[in-house]
Amino acid sequence: MEFTAQAIASFLGGTIEGDPNVEVHTVAKIEEAFPGSLAFLANPKYTHYIYDTKASIVLVNADFEATHKIDATVIRVKSAYEAFAQLLTMYAEAKQPKSGIEQPSFIHETAKVGTNVYIGAFSYIGDGAQVGNNVKIYPQVYIGPNVKVADDSIIYPGVIIYQDCVVGKQCIIHAGAIIGADGFGFASQEDDNYKKIPQIGNTILEDYVEVGANATVDRATMGSTILRKGVKIDDHVHIAHNVEIGEHTVMAAQCGVAGSAKIGKNCMFGGQVGIAPHTKITDGVKVGAQSGIASDIRKENVMLLGSPANEILKARRSIAIYNNLSELQKRVNELERTVKKLSDRLTSK
């Protein structure tokens, strides 16, 4: 499909600078764009690309000020990044949607399946499971007994959802993710062995949650592990048993959240952040990559960095000192030698 700059500007509520009739049929990164493609400029680091990009149309922020001639047609919008996301959503939805039930697949006779669903080949839907309307279940998905998947959710290939778990509406679970595996619960015995503690709870993903590829969200020992409305977790994130994550919190790849941690809403975690068990983190906390949180964070909207994590200004000072340790060591050694010489002189007198 092709869209003109005028049609795109009307859809986004933007203003055009250039040819309103120029057409695009695909999207591309601004540095790799070609004629017939649409790109966007949101990060100032990429500004220089706009002057020689081959894109036919470029979305820019309303306050963008050009310093050179731009060959592409420019559409000014309130937020180029958000506008581009809107267009990508429209582009994805315009593709031919999947529908129907492929064979071979298994749907238990007691399972309930809504209308306009897609169930891919080799998928399994267990006893008492409920699948809502417009749900897309790609090939080789396992949906266990009594699982509930609400309307408009998408479950990509190879996902496993264990018994009794709940998936809200418009959730996305990417390939290989596992929802509701047993929490890591073991009791030490006198003979140094460990006895498994049955994990009889479940996992709940509320509405609009997205789970990355190969991520794992364990079931609770008792009660529920809960990802609240709008939570987004990246690939290879691990959420342990009885964790609760507040609304619209996001986690980058390889974060690990230990058992019974409670995380507030609107938090942001960089890659490989580790969170200790039973930790409580309040709303709006932002944590830099590879940080470690070992105790409660009670101050809202604070930025943290390091392991153990500290407020970012203190952490940066610590990092600066650490980077100069070799020089500081030389100075301390020199001072020790000077003190020893003075001490030896005093002793000799």
Give tens-digit pLDDT for 99-132: 899 999 999 999 999 999 999 999 999 999 999 9
- Whole-number pLDDT of residue 310: 86
The segment(s) of the chain belonging to CATH 3.40.1390.10 are: 3-94
Q: What is the pLDDT of residues 198-254, one digit of tens each?
A: 999 999 999 999 999 999 999 999 999 999 999 999 999 999 999 999 999 999 999
Residue 229's contacts (CB-CB under 8 Å, 6 or more residues apart) are 168, 206, 207, 208, 209, 247, 248
- Whole-number pLDDT of residue 95: 67
- Whole-number pLDDT of residue 254: 97
Give mean pLDDT, residues 337-343: 88
Annotated catalytic residue, options 174, 236, 238, 241: 241
Q: Given a cut of 80, is residue 92 above it in pLDDT?
A: no
Give mean pLDDT, residues 146-150: 98
Cα separation of 81 and 64, whole Å? 13
Average pLDDT along the chain: 94
- Whole-number pLDDT of residue 144: 97
Give mean pLDDT, residues 280-293: 96
Q: Given a cut of 90, is residue 14 above it in pLDDT?
A: yes
Cα separation of 115 and 152, whole Å? 11
pLDDT band at 17 (very low <50, low <70, confident <90, very high): very high
More confident site: 313 or 280: 280
Bridge partners, 28 (sequence order) = none
Give mean pLDDT, residues 138-166: 97
- Whole-number pLDDT of residue 344: 83
Q: Given a cut of 90, is residue 347 above it in pLDDT?
A: no
Concerning whether 241 is annotated as a catalytic residue, the answer is: yes
Q: What percent of the chain has pLDDT over 90?
A: 81
pLDDT band at 160 (very low <50, low <70, confident <90, very high): very high
CATH architecture label of 159-308: 3 Solenoid (2.160)
83: left (phi over 0), alpha (psi -120 to 50) or beta: alpha
Q: Given a cut of 90, is residue 34 above it in pLDDT?
A: yes
The conformation of residue 96, written as its DSSP 8-state character, comes to: P
- Whole-number pLDDT of residue 96: 60
Q: What percent of the chain has pLDDT over 70?
A: 98
The segment(s) of the chain belonging to CATH 2.160.10.10 are: 159-308
Residue 220's contacts (CB-CB under 8 Å, 6 or more residues apart) are 183, 199, 201, 202, 203, 241, 242
Cα end-to-end distance, the chain, whole Å: 96
Cα separation of 248 and 270, whole Å? 15
CATH code: domain 3-94 is: 3.40.1390.10
